[in-house]
Amino acid sequence: MMIGGFLMNAVSDLRARILSFLAGRSSLSSLSSWVLESLLELEESEDRVALAQFYCVAGILAEASHAEWSDEGLRRELEKAAHSLKYPLRNPEVIPT
């Protein structure tokens, strides 16, 4: 992932990774690891919009693990997140339902 002026790339990469997981092409552990590593890089860039998007997905992953969500519940929440990533310049606090 590139740092500096890369909002669209970071958010597009995040969406692609989520969709890859949902399609069964990558594992949950791979997605989780990548999101956490990317968050560390994003923190250095101070890109608030991208950070909000990544924290949203990291929160979904953490909550799913902590609350032992069903696979279907996790998939549903990640699908919502992926949908919201189609519009990265919108308010990152709002995820369409």
Segment 2-47, tens digit of pLDDT:
444 445 688 889 999 999 999 999 999 999 999 999 998 888 887 7
Segment 51-95, tens digit of pLDDT:
889 999 999 999 998 888 888 999 999 999 998 886 554 444 444
Please state, as a whole number, how many other Cβ atoms lie within 10 Å of the Cβ of residue 85.
22
* Confidence (pLDDT) at 95: 41
* Confidence (pLDDT) at 89: 46
* Confidence (pLDDT) at 29: 92
* Confidence (pLDDT) at 83: 87
For the chain, give every domain's residue range: 26-97
Radius of gyration in angstroms for the set of CA atoms belonging to the chain, rounded to a whole number: 13
* Confidence (pLDDT) at 85: 81
Q: Where are the beta strands (DSSP E) in 1-97?
A: none
